[in-house]
C-alpha cells in the first residue's frame, strides 16, 4: 500500500497546487471586482469555498464573472 502512494504522489502534488492556485485566483477576482453577471459577492465566495474541489471556481468563471 505505501508503494502505491509513492507512485501516485508525483501526479497528485501538481494537481493540488493547480487547484489551490485556481481557488486563490478566484477568491482574489471575487474580492476585487464589484459586479457579477449573476448573484452577489457573498454567493460567489460561498460557491468558490464550498465547491473548492475545482467545481466552485469553474462555476464562478463560467456563470458569475462579468465580461470586460
pLDDT at 13: 94
pLDDT at 52: 67
What residues in the chain have per-residue pLDDT under 70? 1, 52, 67-68
Residue 63 contacts residue 37 (beta carbons within 8 Å): yes
pLDDT at 31: 92
Size of the chain in residues: 68
Share of the chain above pLDDT 70, in %: 94
pLDDT at 64: 78
Residue 49 contacts residue 15 (beta carbons within 8 Å): no
Amino acid at each position: 500500500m505505501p508503494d502505491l502512494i509513492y507512485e501516485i504522489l508525483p501526479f497528485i502534488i501538481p494537481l493540488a497546487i493547480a487547484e489551490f492556485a485556481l481557488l486563490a485566483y478566484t477568491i482574489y477576482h471575487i474580492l476585487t471586482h464589484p459586479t457579477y453577471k449573476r448573484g452577489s459577492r457573498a454567493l460567489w465566495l460561498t460557491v468558490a469555498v464550498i465547491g473548492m474541489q475545482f467545481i466552485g471556481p469553474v462555476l464562478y468563471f463560467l456563470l458569475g464573472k462579468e465580461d470586460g
